[in-house]
Amino acid sequence: MSAPLPGIVITGASGRMGQMLIRTVLEHDKVQLVGAIEREGHNWVGRDVGECMGGAALGVTVSDDPLEVFANAQVVIDFTAPEATVGFAHLAAQARMVHVIGTTGMEEQHLAKIQAAARHAVVVRAGNMSLGVNLLTRLVEKVAKALDDDYDIEVIEAHHNRKVDAPSGTALMLGEAAAKGRGVSLQAVEDRARDGITGARKRGDIGFSVIRGGDIVGEHDVMFAATGERITLRHVASDRSVFARGALKAALWGLDQGPGEYDMIDVLGLAD
């Protein structure tokens, strides 16, 4: 008799990313969907998630009780909000589950609690689960290391008009990569806001430019601009499924790891 497939729980099931994750899990032959979570009071709670998504019943009822659902799963994939993710991290650590986190907009207090949870379970967290974006971060780091401060660095990102955080988690991840390449702290050199008479750009700063509009899935450019030339590294996501596929790859990878906090660079085997 073959071993049962690893069970996956999707949080924020009704959201665009949640539904994409559910479809991706259902299409995969090495995992099974065993749970779907929504917030208390949501109109999906108590209903079959397949029917909620406009299709056939899947035999998986949407729940607002993660503790009960996590008991029967090995992995939770979580693209929700910072406070919710911290709560899921605590419960996932208790259940010794793999927790794949694509939530963005987290602050230091959220990250500290997730790091604490990672002492007891596998946490794979990334500002962007796309395999291409994570390859881009390595390229950005290498280019930043090769070029000196004669090259201004600007991270330019564009997303749909419903995104609530800015700069995006991906943009900050790329900024961190550029800062690492230059051997500095991003907090010491970041320039996130320009309005009015700002004065000349400070040498060595890493700037961020933000665009919000329409249904843009995600576009990220890192520009290295010097006198007489510019180098631009670019990634364009045209379909949200790239994030779901990356998250599922992280989930399967995490099943073979010991407790700790990892990122997609670890999943891709590109860590130094």
The mean pLDDT value for 24-53 works out to 97
The mean pLDDT value for 29-57 works out to 97
Query: What does the alpha-carbon distance between residue 20 and residue 247 come to, in Å, rounded to a whole number?
Result: 11
Query: What does the alpha-carbon distance between residue 139 and residue 242 come to, in Å, rounded to a whole number?
Result: 19
pLDDT in tens, 4-16: 899 999 999 999 9
pLDDT at residue number 2 = 62
Number of residues written out for the chain: 272
Q: Is 28 among the catalytic positions?
A: no
pLDDT at residue number 270 = 81
113, 159, 220, 235: the active-site residue: 159
When the pLDDT of each residue in the chain is averaged and rounded to a whole number, the result is: 95
Q: Is 120 among the catalytic positions?
A: no
90, 110, 160, 163: the active-site residue: 163
Token couple for 49: 């998630």
Q: In what order do the strands lie in the sheet with 260-262?
A: 62-63, 32-37, 7-10, 75-78, 98-101, 122-125, 260-262
Residue whose token pair is 């911290």: 86
The mean pLDDT value for 238-257 works out to 95
Residue (of 52, 268, 21) closest to 8 by Cα position: 21
pLDDT in tens, 64-114: 999 999 999 999 999 999 999 999 999 999 999 999 999 988 999 999 999
Predicted confidence band of residue 1 (pLDDT cuts 50, 70, 90): low
- All structural domains of the chain, each given as residue ranges with its CATH number in brackets, are 7-125+240-267 (3.40.50.720), 131-237 (3.30.360.10)
pLDDT in tens, 212-243: 999 999 999 999 999 999 999 999 999 889 99
